[in-house]
Amino acid sequence: MVVIRGTKKFLDRVGAPTASPPPSTTALGDWYGTVLFGRPQVGLFVSERTLLPVLMQFAPGATAPSRLSAQVATVLELHALAGAFVNHELEAMAQTALAKTASRSVIGMLTEFAALSGVYRQAGDANSLIGLSLRLADTPCGPLYKTHITPRRAVAAVADEWIFAH
């Protein structure tokens, strides 16, 4: 089970939030999602625990939560993480629940990643949403300064912890 905590514009397009969602069973925790308008519309998702950004085509919005797991798995594989960890996250994300956002810090990172993705796309620095996700994962993030600094390093540390525990 994964909880997707959406912004208002995300939830308006995807569905009503659950009042009291169960806790996420993924190692990466809850995911926060928003919509970036343009052609095409893009869904921007960020892991609460690692701030790992994942971008994907948003339309059709109603199926975005169920399609998130496949996009996350692709990004995790491209970060060269262990297959067992990627499979665990994919299986844990098979069921989703929607909820309202709860962390201002993660919302701030959504806003920062949205701005950076616009700059990178305009400059032609990323040819695909996957490439842009990987580029954004190297962004130093304030909430990670005392630990891993970038989402790429944070997700690698979480994967290592998970592998060690299992």
- From 9-23, 60-74, 99-113, 121-135, the region with the lowest mean pLDDT: 121-135
Reported pTM = 0.96
Output the domain CATH number for residue 76. 3.30.420
List the beta bridge partners of residue 44. 34, 55
Q: Which domain holds residue 60?
A: 2-165
Number of domains in the chain: 1
- Of 46, 28, 29, nearest to 111 by C-alpha is 46
Average pLDDT over residues 121-125: 76
- From 4-18, 60-74, 110-124, the region with the lowest mean pLDDT: 110-124
pLDDT greater than 90 at residue 40: no
Q: Which helix (H) or strand (E) holds 57?
A: strand 53-57
